[in-house]
Amino acid sequence: MAVISVRKKTGYGFDSYWMDLDIFCLFRNGEPVPLPPKEFELLQILVEQRGQIVTREELISRLWPDTIVEEANLNVHISALRKVLGESPNSHKNTRIKGAAPGVFCFVAEALAGAFEMAARNFGSGTDRCAGLTILQLFQSGAI
């Protein structure tokens, strides 16, 4: 027997992605996307300041407070995040993170912030879970 639990989730939605700030997880079309903690933090900073320019120095100071970090570290995380989001380094098509100038970044995708009712379906043993799906998605898929 399936049990449906519903609770409010806070986060950001953009394109086919949902950033769940309660469990620090990124979902694409309802499926979890592997994202290391630093990339999640980086994405959160950029999405929270969407449409605004964020400097390399600001990102480094927020991601690594009280730590001396080489700029190359940020470049590695930006590159990894772009790859997770399906962006190629040489293409401007479907780009969500724009490099406005050297050392300056801007998240340009439309993002909606807020609390949404999300549903998770637990099956019998509780080991199978469809996390991060909206109630509408579960209903449309026939799961509920």
Domain count, the chain: 1
Answer yes or no: is 39 within a domain.
yes
131 pLDDT tier (thresholds 50, 70, 90): very low
CATH code for position 86: 1.10.10.10
91 pLDDT tier (thresholds 50, 70, 90): low
**Cα distances (angstroms) measured from residue 71 to each of 33, 55, 68, 133:** 26, 11, 10, 37
pTM over 0.75: no
Range of the domain at 92: 17-114
pLDDT at 123 exceeding the cut of 50:
no
pLDDT at 60 exceeding the cut of 90:
yes
pLDDT at 47 exceeding the cut of 90:
yes
Top pLDDT among 35 and 143 is at 35
